């Protein structure tokens, strides 16, 4: 009996160890399988996003341009042919673009490829398509999604930076940053001490952001001073040195003196290091409220920067510093940009000069806007800071999920950049699909 009991105890321990080891191996194999699936699902999402960007640029944008011309011609002929049209209503509808951004609907379009059969059939029924006979739609397991936003509609912190810095471009970036940070709603960010006990001032933060990215040792100053940079990054507990070169990522700005987590939360969505315009201009044709959040602070910042061509002198129109006047108009402009888009910068300048044209006369807000003071912004000054055009650089945030494993890929795609290091045997096709400036998987 002792032998039998000993044998049973031995067998139970061996079987238990074997069962546990088998379970661990099976779980590891399943995790490895799901991780590989999630990775390729996320990569597939990036590739589909590049396809949507190409469709937008090659097909949608030209058609929208033709529709815009037809709309302008019909409106101009209608206004000249009918003398009874009120000036307010005609001005309210003028300046509207006609924009269709297929990239704004990336999540819904991804559902045709990443959803189940029932989900694909439901999406098809919304647009009147029978998907039962279409092959290649839906997934048996796993899912993926993507969010596509434009980088051209943001402030480029790298403009004028690097070894050969450009003071005139840095001045534009300084004006844009000061305009973005000016609103009273951000006073709290500059009234609290950081971890080292120092208080950040708006102008000091703007200077520090510019000085981090240039190679010289002179502090940037809109007055043209020549003080040396003394941010004392090496005096902190975790000391380091300033980069003294262009930013590698937007997140790097968090290392700049005066930039806190709250600062990043408030302004990160309006900053970039990948914009395509060499003159530091912000593309108003790329701003929207749909995916990138509220674009009102950015529009307010642009207007304020345009009103202060020389930051050392008062603005051409002090009304731009009144949030109660500027914020409602900027909100209307952002809503318009999200729905119809802009056809030119004159849309902004004309609306600021005639606030009542922001809405139609039968709108309850018409009398409120009618009583507002006009804001006079020079169109040339605004044109030196912004333009209206098709986006070129996009940020793709793709996710792939299989089982409990989820992969996220953040990629920056430049559709107009020259291809320097081909990764495939067909560099022409690779360039046509968009050149990657940044890739991160997590």
Q: What is the 3-state secondary structure (H, E, C) of 343-403?
A: CCCHHHHHHHHCHHHHCCCCCCCHHHHHCCCCCCCCHHHHHCCEECCCCCEEEEEEEEEEC
Structural contact between residues 253 and 206, judged by C-beta atoms closer than 8 angstroms: no
Within-domain flag for 229: no
Lowest mean pLDDT among 55-59, 126-130, 407-411: 126-130
Tell me which of 120 and 396 has the higher pLDDT: 396
Question: Is residue 43 predicted with pLDDT exceeding 90?
Answer: yes
Tell me which of 2 and 91 has the higher pLDDT: 2
Domain that holds residue 133: 2-151+391-441
Q: Mean of the per-residue pLDDT values for the chain?
A: 84
- In this structure, the strands spanning 405-414 and 386-387 are unpaired
DSSP letter, residue 105? G
pTM, full prediction = 0.85
Report the interhelical angle of 167-181 vs 202-213 (nearest 10°): 140
Highest mean pLDDT among 185-189, 331-335, 343-347: 185-189
Structural contact between residues 273 and 377, judged by C-beta atoms closer than 8 angstroms: no
Q: What is the pLDDT of residues 225-283, one digit of tens each?
A: 777 888 888 877 788 888 889 999 999 999 998 898 889 999 999 999 998 899 999 99
Nearest C-alpha neighbor of 211 from the set 241, 189, 234: 241
DSSP letter, residue 280? -
Within-domain flag for 282: no
Distance, CA of 256 to CA of 241 (rounded, Å): 10
| Residue for token pair 């952002």 | 334
377-390 mean pLDDT: 90
Q: What is the pLDDT of residues 206-220, one digit of tens each?
A: 999 999 999 888 888
Q: Give residue 86's pLDDT band: very low, low, confident or very high (50, 70, 90).
A: very low
pLDDT at 407: 95
Question: By percentage, how much of the chain surpasses pLDDT 90?
Answer: 32
CB atoms under 10 Å from CB of 278, counted, come to 11
Question: Is residue 93 predicted with pLDDT exceeding 50?
Answer: no
Within-domain flag for 24: yes
Structural contact between residues 227 and 218, judged by C-beta atoms closer than 8 angstroms: yes
Q: What is the pLDDT of residues 123-146, one digit of tens each?
A: 677 667 777 777 777 788 888 999
The number of domains in the chain is 1
Question: Is residue 80 predicted with pLDDT exceeding 60?
Answer: no
Report the interhelical angle of 346-353 vs 296-307 (nearest 10°): 80
pLDDT at 79: 54
pLDDT at 94: 47
Distance, CA of 135 to CA of 195 (rounded, Å): 58
Nearest C-alpha neighbor of 263 from the set 250, 248, 280: 250
Within-domain flag for 214: no
Q: What is the pLDDT of residues 146-190, one digit of tens each?
A: 999 999 999 999 999 988 889 999 999 999 999 999 999 899 888
Q: Give residue 76's Cα distance to chain centre.
A: 34
Dihedral, CA atoms, 339, 173, 184, 358, nearest 10 degrees?
A: -30
Within-domain flag for 8: yes
Q: Give residue 102's pLDDT band: very low, low, confident or very high (50, 70, 90).
A: confident
Within-domain flag for 56: yes
Nearest C-alpha neighbor of 415 from the set 51, 136, 36: 51
pLDDT at 357: 80
Phi, psi (deg, nearest 5) at residue 27: -65, -40
Question: Is residue 433 predicted with pLDDT exceeding 50?
Answer: yes
Tell me which of 54 and 369 has the higher pLDDT: 54
Lowest mean pLDDT among 57-71, 125-139, 407-421: 125-139
Q: Give residue 98's pLDDT band: very low, low, confident or very high (50, 70, 90).
A: low
Residue 439 bridge partners (DSSP): 411
298-315 mean pLDDT: 91
Question: Is residue 115 predicted with pLDDT exceeding 90?
Answer: no
Nearest C-alpha neighbor of 186 from the set 283, 253, 260, 272: 260
Structural contact between residues 284 and 388, judged by C-beta atoms closer than 8 angstroms: yes
Structural contact between residues 321 and 304, judged by C-beta atoms closer than 8 angstroms: yes
Within-domain flag for 293: no
| Residue for token pair 């914009």 | 275
CB atoms under 10 Å from CB of 352, counted, come to 27
Within-domain flag for 424: yes
C-alpha triplet 402, 405, 406: angle, nearest 5°: 85
């Amino acid at each position: 009996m002792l032998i039998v009991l000993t044998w049973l105890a031995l067998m139970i321990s061996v079987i238990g160890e074997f069962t546990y080891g088998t379970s661990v191996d099976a779980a590891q194999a399943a995790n490895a399988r799901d991780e590989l699936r999630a990775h390729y699902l996320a990569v597939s999402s990036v590739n589909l996003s590049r396809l949507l960007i190409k469709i937008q640029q090659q097909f949608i944008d030209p058609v929208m341009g033709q529709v815009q011309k037809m709309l302008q011609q019909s409106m101009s002929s209608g206004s000249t042919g009918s003398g009874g049209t009120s000036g307010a209503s005609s001005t309210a509808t003028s300046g509207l673009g006609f924009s269709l951004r297929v990239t704004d609907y990336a999540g819904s379009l991804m559902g045709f490829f990443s959803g189940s059969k029932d989900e694909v059939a439901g999406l098809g029924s919304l647009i009147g398509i029978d998907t039962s006979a279409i092959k290649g739609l839906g997934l048996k397991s796993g899912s993926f999604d993507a969010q596509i936003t434009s980088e051209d509609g943001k402030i480029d912190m790298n403009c004028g930076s690097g070894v050969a810095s450009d003071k005139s471009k840095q001045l534009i970036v300084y004006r844009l940053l000061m305009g973005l940070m000016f609103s009273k709603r951000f006073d709290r960010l500059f009234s609290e001490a950081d971890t080292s006990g120092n208080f950040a001032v708006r102008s000091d933060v703007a200077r520090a952001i510019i000085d981090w990215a240039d190679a010289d040792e002179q502090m940037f100053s809109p007055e043209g001073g020549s003080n040396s940079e003394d941010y004392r990054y090496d005096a902190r507990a975790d000391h380091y040195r300033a980069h003294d070169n262009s930013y590698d990522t937007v997140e790097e700005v968090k290392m700049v003196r005066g930039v806190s987590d709250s600062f990043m939360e408030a302004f990160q969505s309006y900053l970039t290091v990948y914009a395509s315009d060499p003159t530091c201009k912000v593309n108003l044709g790329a701003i929207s409220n749909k995916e990138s959040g509220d674009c009102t602070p950015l529009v307010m910042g642009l207007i304020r920067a345009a009103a202060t061509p020389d930051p050392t002198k008062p603005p051409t129109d002090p009304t731009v510093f009144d949030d109660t006047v500027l914020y409602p108009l900027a909100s209307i402009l952002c809503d318009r940009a999200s729905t119809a888009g802009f056809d030119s910068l004159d849309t902004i300048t004309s609306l600021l000069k005639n606030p009542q044209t922001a809405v139609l006369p039968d709108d309850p807000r018409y009398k409120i806007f009618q009583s507002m003071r006009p804001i006079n912004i020079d169109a040339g000054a605004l044109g030196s800071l912004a333009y209206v055009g098709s986006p070129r650089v996009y940020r793709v945030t793709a996710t792939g999920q299989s089982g409990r494993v989820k992969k996220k890929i953040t990629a920056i795609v430049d559709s107009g950049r020259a291809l320097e290091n081909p990764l495939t045997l067909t560099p022409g096709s690779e360039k046509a699909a968009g050149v990657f400036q940044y890739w991160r998987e997590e």
